[in-house]
Structure 1
Amino acid sequence: MPDDKVKRRLTTVLCADVYGYSRLMEADEAGTLEALRRSRAAIARLVERHDGRIVNTWGDAVIAEFASVVEAVQSAIEIQQEISDQESVAPQASAMRFRIGINLGDVMVDGTNIYGDGVNIASRLQELADPGGVVISSSVYDQVHNKLSVGFDCLGQRPMKNIAPLTSYRLTLGGQAAAQAGIPMPENRTPSQSARAPGIDDRREPSSSTNAVSDWLGRLPRPVAVALTVSAFLITINLFTGAHKIWFHWPVAIILLGAALRTVLGRRPERDRS
């Protein structure tokens, strides 16, 4: 008797399609078809480079699978970069841009084809991607977030047609990919500044405040400046070692009095000479 048992496997599924394909075909059928062939050739080459295989193509869509999650995401990044380079010379209205979704999940195998929720989820994730962008499922994110030099924006749980909501992530590839993914970048910042960890800019304020205090002390008579610095040091020690017992006022008073006397006495000879 034939073995009718359904074969399953865990695999990484990549789904890609052309954004605005119908509009592009309506505007220029021959040019769009030629651009699609060129893009598919690039996709097939990059999928193969990362040990994946093209499962199916129909219309403007491409489905591929990979044994490695990391290789699948790396392939998607290179696909978007190469297609962007190819279409950079085309007018903006006719440029061909793909959206890519990637999912790690269980699939049913029928010959060379794969089916099931693992494929459907990848297809829905692709619909969430921006033109030229990549969106991955949380199962993919768990495997790659500490293995690739890219950023990830959590999209939360977005509703998807006939699929239970799941957490997804959008890839950000620095300044260029951020623009492709629709992430605005402040005009007065470079990509490296925008990628800086939160809080670095905030640390500039204390630095400027310290400079202001130093300038102010520099304008004071030297004995007064030294006395104030030592007094602040003693007050800090008192507050950190036992605020319940105040003792700093006595040494501080003596230091300030001595500084004041030294300043006054130091100026008296100058007045006498005048």
Structure 2
Amino acid sequence: MTDDKVKRRLTTVLCADAQGYSRLMEADEAGTLETLRRYRAAIAGLVERHEGRIVNTWGDAVIAEFASVVEAVQCAVEIQQEISNRDSDPSHAHPMRFRIGINLGDVMVDGSDIYGDGVNIAARLQELAEPGGVVISGSVYDHVRNKLSLGFDCLGQRPMKNVASVTSYRVTTGGRTAGRDSFPVDESPAPQGPAVADALRIRDRHEPSTWMGFVSDWLAILPRPVRVALTVSCFLILINVFTGMHKVWFHWPVAALLFGVILRTVLGHRAASDSDGERRTSRE
């Protein structure tokens, strides 16, 4: 092995960037620089409290790394809360808000600096965050989703400049985006599968315009064989009603049809379970 071999490690990278920094500097250079210094000191204190370290600062950005994914996310939320509390001071004519991105990835180590896609993805994720918000990568989400009392909104795979797209999540606290105050948020829906998209469309209809709309929405979420069986059954019942109820006959074909659908569904689930079991056995 040679001495110049690149060292690598897996780490959690936090990237924080001040939103509208150039505009703030144009409005008040001295005041903006003083605010940035105070916020950097607060960020450094929170990073140290969560056993992280500041890797680099340039311009208005801060890069930090953490050995613990959970500590990194907790730190990010506390940073946004601390800055939000300070910005609530009426004396701040031009409040400064930060956007934060967090990624868990492999990085190259050069002295005290870190480089590579692990850092670049964190920087791109912060660009997806709204001012006062936190966006994390899918690798971070997998580690913290069951360990923190936070909410996570899936943003899907958003295109990011010069790096491969990754699934990202917006962090929320108590139904609100972490650190969010009154800033507009891009609420465009994340890419979803067909079944999820159908369910979301039905959920967003607060009140069907007619009973036919309600029935249509309800049928839309049922498996196709069940929908077909129910539709045919309704037609048989209507035929029996309009041809005269002096002789009721619809219950026999309807019962046979529903029994066939139930049997097919049970056998289908059993076959799927057996197939999954065989695949697990083959992998073992």
Same fold (TM over 0.5): yes
2:40 is equivalent to residue 40 of structure 1: yes
Residue matched to 1:107: 107
Letter in 2 for 1:3: D
AA partner of residue 125 (structure 2): L
Q: Which residue of 2 aligns with 1:149?
A: 149
Alignment of 1:1-274 (within 5 A): 3-90=3-90, 94-175=94-175, 177=177, 179-180=180-181, 182=184
Paired amino acid for 1:177:
T
Note the alpha carbon deviations across 1:132-179, whole angstroms, 9 max, x for none.
000000000000011111100111111110011111000111255364
1:77 Cα deviation from its structure 2 partner: 0.3
Alpha-carbon separation, structure 2, partners of 1:157 and 1:93:
36
Q: Which has the higher Rg, Structure 1 or Structure 2?
A: 1
* Partner Cα distance (1:21, 1:135) in 2: 20
Per-residue deviation, 1:81: 0.2
Amino acid at match of 1:71: E
Residue deviations 1:35-58, cap 9 Å, x none?
Answer: 111100110000000000000001
Amino acid at match of 1:103: N
For 1:183 and 1:24, locate their aligned partners in 2 and report how far apart those are by CA, in whole Å. Answer: 21
Q: Give the Cα separation in 2 of the matches to 1:141 and 1:162.
A: 22
SS in 2 for 1:159: coil
Q: CA deviation at 1:182?
A: 4.2
State percent identity of aligned pairs: 77
Post-superposition CA distance 1:80-100 (Å, at most 9, x none): 000111111146761010000
Query: Counterpart amino acid of 1:139?
Result: S
Deviation at 1:31, TM superposition (A): 0.8
Q: Secondary structure at the match of 2:131?
A: coil
**2-side partners of 1:74 and 1:133: how far apart?**
13
Structure 1 outlier segments of 4+, above 4 Å = 90-93, 181-184
Q: Considering only aligned residues, what root-mean-square deviation do their CA atoms show, in Å?
A: 2.5
Distance in 1 separating the partners of 2:132 and 2:104: 21
Q: 1:34 to 1:92 in 2, by over 3 A?
A: closer
Q: Secondary structure at the match of 2:132?
A: coil
Q: 1:90 to 1:25 in 2, by over 3 A?
A: farther
C-alpha change, 1:155 and 1:27, in structure 2 (3 Å) is same
Helix, strand or coil at the partner of 2:96: coil
Change (3 A) 1:90 1:32: farther
Structure 1 residues 8-57: Cα deviation after superposition (integer angstroms, max 9, x where no partner): 00000000010000000000111111111110011000000000000000
Inter-CA distance 60–90: structure 2 relative to 1 (3 Å threshold): farther
Compared with structure 1, are the counterparts of its residues 92 and 42 closer, same or farther at alpha carbon in structure 2 (3 Å cutoff)?
closer
State the alpha-carbon separation in 1 of the partners of residues 16 and 134 from structure 2: 9
Q: Unaligned regions of 5+ residues in structure 2, if any?
A: 187-202, 208-250, 253-284
The AA in structure 2 aligned to 1:72 is A
Give the number of equivalent residue pairs.
192
TM-score with structure 1 setting the length: 0.65
After superposition, give the CA deviation of every residue in 1:190-217 in whole Å (9 maximum; x if it has no partner): xxxxxxxx8xx99xxxxxxxxxxxxxxx
C-alpha displacement of 1:131: 0.2
CA change 1:41–1:17 in 2 (3 A) is same
Amino acid in the other structure paired with 1:106:
D
- Separation in structure 1 between the aligned mates of residue 120 and residue 46 of structure 2, nearest angstrom: 23
SS of structure 2 residue aligned to 1:84: helix
Q: In structure 2, give the amino acid aligned to 1:105.
A: G
